[in-house]
Homo-oligomer: A and B are copies of this chain.
């Protein structure tokens, strides 16, 4: 915000007048998850009508070079629960007799993906294709896969894509949490009563989230499960050998703007004029931003122009802003203000 105000002052001092009108949305509750922003946007949709939406949010590429981000994956979540005996049972007296819900859950999760992290549910990746033009732009991002792996301390990455940028063009199915019974000093010799996995599904533009969640649900049913959206009753437990509770929520959808859209070409030109080289262009951010719902609501092509350094400890202790990024951010914004549309 300070960068933008400084950029406005600078253009005024230089008597530069943008040849377009500006409407500004400022969100001071982003660290709270922007709870009131979507509503405010819906209520003021008429007032906020525009041709182009620029989002000044988030960090630049790790190389800290001028960056444009053209989209973000959306996110949906699933809580998946399987059942064993109605209350935990002594694993000596009932081990080999009472079905174990953690084994049930493990088998379900294992059936969804292959050893290299690819979802094996038919149709999950339908509609997505990385053509040669897109591949070229993805490969132009100066990522260093060796460095990424070294930083994560992994010997090999999952194989949904052939490299980092390609991998995040696809929806994901990630086990973000899992529990059954207890571990470590709390471990008890029981057959647990239930097992639960928390799953997040990152969404991309090609994939209807409702269809994606249904594919997963149908896959579970196809493994012989009676799938419900609440805890089973005693009668259901006594009737159905395998029961799964499937609770899902679509948090927000993805958005993605074409590189060659009017806003894309215009911003690329502005940044090239300011810095003398093409910006790094990110087709999709892997993470989801709560701004997408009103990109969709407003129906305006949007591009993110990140300006801050990636090691800024965003939302964390020792949050920081590199002075060079502050200066270059102002320069970026001046360039955009004076670029002819």
Q: For the complex, is A68 an interface residue (Cβ under 8 Å from B)?
A: no
Q: For the complex, is A38 an interface residue (Cβ under 8 Å from B)?
A: no
**A152 with B117: CB separation less than 8 A:** no
**A179 with B178: CB separation less than 8 A:** yes
Which B residues lie within 8 Å of A184 (CB)?
79, 196, 198
Report copies per complex: 2
Q: Which residue of chain B has the shortest Cβ distance to A102 in the bound complex?
A: B175
Which B residues lie within 8 Å of A164 (CB)?
97
The size bracket of the interface on A is 35 or more
Grouping DSSP codes into helix (H, G, I), strand (E, B) and loop, the A interface class, with mixed when no group exceeds half, is mixed
Q: For the complex, is A17 an interface residue (Cβ under 8 Å from B)?
A: no
Which B residues lie within 8 Å of A103 (CB)?
109-110, 113, 117, 175
For A84, A158, A195, which residue has the most chain B Cβ atoms within 10 angstroms? Answer: A158
Of the candidates B97, B149, B195, B241, the one whose C-beta lies within 8 Å of that of A178 is: B195
In residues 54-108 of chain A, which contact B (Cβ within 8 Å)? 73, 75, 77, 79, 84-86, 89-100, 102-103, 105-107
**A157 with B97: CB separation less than 8 A:** yes
Q: How far is the CB of A178 from chain B (nearest CB, A)?
A: 4
Q: For the complex, is A319 an interface residue (Cβ under 8 Å from B)?
A: no
Q: For the complex, is A182 an interface residue (Cβ under 8 Å from B)?
A: yes
Q: Which residue of chain B has the shortest Cβ distance to A173 in the bound complex?
A: B95
* Given A189-B75, A286-B94, also A176-B181 (CB < 8 A): yes
**B152 with A86: CB separation less than 8 A:** yes
For A96, A105, A111, A183, which residue has the most chain B Cβ atoms within 10 angstroms? Answer: A96
Q: For the complex, is A131 an interface residue (Cβ under 8 Å from B)?
A: no
Of the candidates B95, B109, B148, the one whose C-beta lies within 8 Å of that of A174 is: B95
Q: For the complex, is A191 an interface residue (Cβ under 8 Å from B)?
A: yes
Which B residues lie within 8 Å of A192 (CB)?
175-177
Which B residues lie within 8 Å of A90 (CB)?
286-287
**B191 with A174: CB separation less than 8 A:** yes
Interface pick from A232-240, A299-307, A324-332: A232-240
* Given A174-B95, A176-B192, also A238-B198 (CB < 8 A): no
Of the candidates B107, B115, B176, the one whose C-beta lies within 8 Å of that of A190 is: B176
* Interface residues, chain A, with chain B CB atoms under 8 Å away: 73, 75, 77, 79, 84-86, 89-100, 102-103, 105-107, 109-111, 113, 115, 117, 148-150, 152-158, 160-161, 164, 167-168, 170, 172, 174-184, 186-192, 195-198, 200, 202, 224, 234, 237-241, 285-288
